[in-house]
Amino acid sequence: MTKRIAPRARFSASWAGGVIALISITSLVMGGVSANDPSGGAFAAPSRATEALSLLGQDPYTVSGGELNLEVSISSSLSEPTDNVVITAQSSVTNRAAFTRVVNGTNTGSVLDQVEIALTALPSPGGSARAISLTLGAAGALALPALSAPGVYPLTIALEQANGQVRESFTTFAVVVEGGLFASPVNNEPRLAVAWVWPLVAGPAELPNGSADPAVSAAALPTGRLGRQVSALSRHLDIPITISPGPETVTARNTSPLRSGLLAVAARAQVLAGPYVPVDIPSLIENLLSGIADNELATGNTALSEYFSSPPDIRTALANPVSPGALTLLRARGTTRVAISNSALVNGSRSVPTAPFSLKITPPAGVNETTISAVASDDGIANLLTGASPVLSGQLVLAALALNAYASEGAAKGTVLVNPFDLDIPEETFSTILNGLRNHPLLKPVTLESFFSEVPAVQTSTGALETRELTTYSPPAPPVKASALNATANRVLALQTFIGSDAREVRTANQWLLRAPSATFTEAAGQARARRSLKDAQARVTAALAQIEIPNPGTITLTSENGSIPLTFRNNLDQTVRVRISLASEKLSFPTGSTQELELPPANTTVRIPVQARTPGTFVLRLNVASSDGLLIIAVQEFKVRSTAVSTIGIILMIGAVVVLAAWWILDARARRKKRREKTAVAA
């Protein structure tokens, strides 16, 4: 049924004032404005309007027979006083496919009602804003009586010239419900549980030269991508939500503007653990880098625990992307439930709305099959966040959630909404949704933890827990070679064993290592930055080892056969370390062994190594200093040793030679005397 109303006969100045007053009251009750929301609720206008016609605010739902209040912006420079605003209601949508067709403008359904209002008759709360109030499901001065049954109705708002030509239009949805503010609308069943997960993460915040990444710094400002999200959340602390903060992102020095708001949000929200930087865990595992993947999760958990002064929830994880290997790793770290994208599931469209189910983890050959509790996020609704009009995008999300509530057909189900990783939208969109979720009769905002506990798991017709399977995911290669990542990881781990995991040098080297496989490092520029991150990690290890100073090369003099060589080491680290020294020389022997372990506390340590010279002269002594496990070579040095001592054997040989020589001389002298006597006797 099409109905056109002559608005001038119905709009008077007193009626306009009544609309403004009604909108003010409705925005307080239905928009749910609280002390945490100074913006004025769903009717807060954006700073400027760039379109001829745009949506500034709308009631998130309307009780059948009640008033639907809208506020639109109409540009005076793009309209004429003789223009009209035409509101057309179409038949309700009953499934996601029909909803999508309306949003895409390919099908708006049959027309149920239509109202035409002169532009000059619309009351203005100020500026370009115009207020509209319509009675739904009942007769009235401005009414859409056909919208009486509960449902989600497309509502097209058009700015038309006097000749009927449309200047501009947009389509929103009117959500009609039965009963009072807190009534259960669907056959007295519970409201649809809505778990909204906010990944608050960016790429690595520090550049290889040590300076802050300007893009991350900008994102953390109050007007930046992350700053706007934290601002919206901090003004709606009464709405249960789940955040997944990037550990490297929030702990970086250039993201400090986020801190106060984020701490306030975390005190009321569920905080999920996650990798230190955004990484593709399936890619790491497939490339035999599961140790680095585990390190990402462990370091991320530690960083968030220190930042928030309490540990994040490791039992619940946001797994995107996901693979059986990634799920196996998460289970090993204590995760018992995951949220995954519905596109990662076989027949993922079955997951709208969703409820917990059992997700099969297909193991390698020879390993028993396991499962994990899971829910599927609604990617279709998440895609609505990035529309061109901020408030309209928020209203579309609320309408899609309401449609899910009606589509659940009395079953206890819910919707998991996960913001895109790099979401960059105006704060008005977030505020529109958060205000709309407050006291909504169809929707119940919950944390992800509450979602798992409150929404019954899906069961088969036989009563068994429904088991779902993942689609095949082919991950990309890491941004740097796996061999380079493993080699650097081994050196960082060896340094950790050498000086302790809490050492500043170890933590810094590990952070550079973990930045290298960031999923944000794509294409040539990103891959070059990833390689530089690995070089920085290696450089940090080398710099830490350089804090162990070994004796300067020089000449050591031995004045006796058995002596000792003094070696002075200086440890400039804050920790006591154990080193292994190895000595080698062709002319020296080492009575206590050529390899020894030494304990080096901070500052200087002098040790004397017993030696025995095999021969006098000048020769080379080689000193090799390594970590106690031999995995890190700290230094290799050569010394000159001059021995002026004569050995005992040498002395014995010399004495023996003298004795032999003396005996020979005596015998020779006697022989000569005897010969002379014999010659004398013959002559006589």
Residue 636: which of 576, 560, 590, 579 has the closest Cα? 579
Secondary structure letter of residue 529 according to DSSP: H
Q: How far is CA 532 from CA 8, 252, 491, 541, 544, in A?
A: 70, 19, 16, 14, 18
CB 597 within 8 A of CB 579: yes
CB 152 within 8 A of CB 99: yes
Secondary structure letter of residue 458 according to DSSP: P
CB 114 within 8 A of CB 157: no
Rounded to 10 deg, the angle between the 482-499 and 523-545 helix axes is 30
Residue 299: which of 262, 334, 274, 335 has the closest Cα? 274
Edge-to-edge order in the sheet of strand 555-558: 555-558, 633-643, 617-627, 577-584, 595-600
The residue ranges of DSSP E strands in 534-632, in sequence order, are 548-549, 555-558, 562-571, 577-584, 588-589, 595-600, 603-613, 617-627
Q: How far is CA 107 from CA 54, 99, 113, 175, 277, in A?
A: 21, 9, 16, 18, 43
Q: Which pLDDT tens digit goes with each residue over 548-567?
A: 998 776 788 887 878 888 88
- Within a 10 A sphere around the Cβ of 301, how many other Cβ atoms? 20
What pLDDT does residue 24 have? Answer: 35
Residue 210: which of 504, 512, 507, 421 has the closest Cα? 512
CB 447 within 8 A of CB 242: yes
Secondary structure element (H or E) that encloses residue 28, with its range: helix 13-29
Lookup: tokens for 391: 């408030």
Q: Is the pLDDT of residue 649 over 60?
A: no
Contacts of 508 (CB under 8 A, 6+ apart): 540
Give the whole-angstrom CA distance, residue 204 versus residue 511: 10
CB 379 within 8 A of CB 325: no
- Measured in residues, the chain has a length of 684
Match 């062709």 to its residue by tokens. 586
Q: Which pLDDT tens digit goes with each residue over 32-88?
A: 333 333 333 332 333 333 478 999 999 999 999 999 999 999 998 888 999 999 999
What pLDDT does residue 46 have? Answer: 32
The residue ranges of DSSP E strands in 480-571, in sequence order, are 548-549, 555-558, 562-571
Give the whole-angstrom CA distance, residue 434 versus residue 445: 9
pLDDT above 70 covers a percentage of the chain that reads: 86
Give the whole-angstrom CA distance, residue 424 versus residue 637: 56
Q: Which pLDDT tens digit goes with each residue over 361-372?
A: 987 655 677 899
The distance of Cα 390 from the centroid of its chain, to the nearest Å, equals 25
What are residue 445's phi and psi, to 5 degrees? -70, 135
Average pLDDT of the residues in 219-227 = 96
Predicted confidence band at 189 (pLDDT cuts at 50, 70, 90)? low
Give the whole-angstrom CA distance, residue 492 versus residue 386: 41
Q: pTM of the entire structure?
A: 0.83
Give the whole-angstrom CA distance, residue 602 versus residue 594: 25
CB 316 within 8 A of CB 270: yes
Q: Which pLDDT tens digit goes with each residue over 74-115?
A: 998 888 999 999 999 999 999 999 999 999 988 767 899 999
Predicted confidence band at 248 (pLDDT cuts at 50, 70, 90)? very high
Give the whole-angstrom CA distance, residue 637 versus residue 659: 45
Side-chain-facing half-sphere of 274: CA atoms under 13 Å: 30
Burial of 451 (0-12, 13-18, 19+ CB in 10 A): buried
What pLDDT does residue 683 have? Answer: 65
Lookup: tokens for 232: 């919206």
Q: Which pLDDT tens digit goes with each residue over 133-161?
A: 999 988 877 899 999 999 999 999 999 99
3-class secondary-structure state, position 616: coil
Q: Which pLDDT tens digit goes with each residue over 603-615?
A: 999 999 899 888 8
What pLDDT does residue 647 have? Answer: 55
Give the whole-angstrom CA distance, residue 509 versus residue 498: 13
Lookup: tokens for 172: 């929103």
Predicted confidence band at 650 (pLDDT cuts at 50, 70, 90)? low
DSSP symbols for 319-374: -SS--HHHHHHHHHTT--EEEEEGGGBTTGGGGSSB--EEEEE-PPTTS--EEEEE
Lookup: tokens for 292: 């680095």
Q: Is the pLDDT of residue 279 over 50?
A: yes
Match 């000749």 to its residue by tokens. 163
CB 114 within 8 A of CB 6: no
Contacts of 598 (CB under 8 A, 6+ apart): 569, 578, 579, 580, 581, 605, 607
Lookup: tokens for 648: 């005992």
Edge-to-edge order in the sheet of strand 62-63: 62-63, 166-177, 151-160, 84-90, 111-118
Give the whole-angstrom CA distance, residue 149 versus residue 502: 64
Contacts of 422 (CB under 8 A, 6+ apart): 225
Q: Which pLDDT tens digit goes with each residue over 482-535?
A: 999 999 999 999 999 999 999 999 999 999 999 999 999 988 999 999 999 999
Give the whole-angstrom CA distance, residue 30 versus residue 441: 10
Match 């928020």 to its residue by tokens. 394
Residue 277: which of 101, 478, 429 has the closest Cα? 478
Q: Which pLDDT tens digit goes with each residue over 411-465?
A: 778 999 999 999 999 999 999 999 999 999 999 999 999 999 999 998 887 878 8
